[in-house]
Structure 1
Amino acid sequence: MKSFLLSLLALTAASASLLPRQQAPSFGNVNAVIDSAFKKVSLLDYQGKYVVLLFYPFDFTYVCPTELIAFSDKIDSFHELGAEVLGISTDSHFTHLAWIKTARKDGGLGGLRYPLLADISKDISRAYGVLVEDSTDDLYGAALRGLFILDGAGKIRSIQINDAPVGRSVDETLRLIQAFKHTDTHGEVCPANWQPGSKTIVPDQDQKKKYFSDVNRDL
């Protein structure tokens, strides 16, 4: 019992300190709904691709369907970048399926174009530090709105965790993947508000001057 508690404390401490540049916690053999069918999903299934892990609190709620639908409607844009999206909550795969089959006009998803994972053990949410474990919180046992971007090597490149009332931006998620893939390929870095096709910076004390002189000509 003592060793179990020590392991649990170590896992909790590790998840609380997850940062970009670290290896993402792996998971496997998780029940999921894909194309309205029950299947098993592992993170290793997506090795070599960028992956967006989209944690959310509950099925059949308010902000959650707007987020999942928004990502589903733009899934082709993710695929064009060689990226996949995985939705994750602590609901069961049976609840996921019922929600997917519910029409959008009734608060359902009306179909979904990426896998929806059932983290009923709460192990994935806990490992990524998004599980609400305060029993006095009305989200107790659920995941916060965590968004993790992983690269093809399984490393975390970006972390965003919102409180429950506010949803996340699909366009910003796509922009971040485009930016990270650009830096992966070209070795240049992306300045504030970078958009595909705009100027980047060579991370060198001398070569950086070209960028700053170009964007500050009148200053």
Structure 2
Amino acid sequence: MISDIDCLKVGQSAPNFSATAVYDQEFIPVKLTEYLGKYVILFFYPLDFTFVCPTEIIAFSDQYERFSSVNTEILGISVDSEYSHLAWIQTDRSSGGIGELKYPLVSDLKKTISKAYNVLNSDGVALRGLFIIDKEGIIQHSTINNLAFGRSVDETYRILQAIQYVQANPDEVCPADWQPGEKTMIPDPVKSKEYFTAI
């Protein structure tokens, strides 16, 4: 873990953690380093049994296979206990619950993970922080929303694909709104002009 959490930036190693999570109606141990070799979508949300949070959590679960197909795992984290997570999962969506999920929900009851990722607010809950960690354990993308508005799963997937593309093609870069199959750029004063002449 880095010494000064306020300086956590993309390009740095993701702070490791060990915690208890709920997955498939069971409590399981989760350690971030066990995901090395895969990409990880690590997202924080404020609290269980709230309003915006279930929309994000369910949306990531509904699209889990799309992420899994590109060697990516998803982890959701809040400052609730694993028992609260379990109760929320066991509550039907029509009754304010989230139902079965396809990825683990991690408990950060002691708030050490939220602090390490610098997303803990003054009220003691996590802001909507999202981190894309590559298969080497390096943070490649981060975004933090305030509490009142949710994130886009589709945009998260688009950014993940761009990260994977440039890592597989280190001589290229992806322009704004790039989608797989679209033209990329060569980061060179002369060669980059080829992109603009083609659009």
Instruction: Give the TM-score, by structure 2 length.
Output: 0.96
Cα distance in structure 1, aligned partners of 2:43 and 2:193: 38
Matches within 5 A, 1:48-67: 48-67=37-56
Post-superposition offset of 1:150: 0.4
Runs of 4+ in 1 over 3 A off after TM superposition: none
Q: Which residue of 2 aligns with 1:81?
A: 70
- One-letter code aligned to 2:198: D
Q: Which residue of 2 aligns with 1:98?
A: 87
Cα distance in structure 2, aligned partners of 1:35 and 1:205: 52
1:157 to 140, 145, 164: 140
Post-superposition offset of 1:66: 0.4
Count of residue correspondences: 197
**Percent same amino acid among aligned pairs?**
52
Q: Which residue of 2 aligns with 1:19?
A: 9
Post-superposition offset of 1:17: 1.7
Post-superposition offset of 1:36: 1.0
Q: Which residue of 1 aligns with 2:158?
A: 175
- One-letter code aligned to 1:211: Y
Q: Which residue of 2 aligns with 1:190?
A: 174
Post-superposition offset of 1:212: 1.5
> Residues 156-201 of structure 1, C-alpha deviation per residue, up to 9 Å, x if partnerless?
1111100001000000000000000000011211000111111100
Instruction: Give the TM-score, by structure 1 length.
Output: 0.88
Cα distance in structure 2, aligned partners of 1:212 and 1:113: 42
Cα distance in structure 1, aligned partners of 2:128 and 2:193: 39
Q: Which residue of 2 aligns with 1:7?
A: none
Report the aligned-residue RMSD. Answer: 1.1
- One-letter code aligned to 1:158: H
Post-superposition offset of 1:206: 2.3
Q: Which residue of 2 aligns with 1:68?
A: 57
| Structure 2 runs not aligned, ≥5 long | none
| Structure 1 runs not aligned, ≥5 long | 1-9, 135-139
Post-superposition offset of 1:204: 1.9
Post-superposition offset of 1:123: 0.5
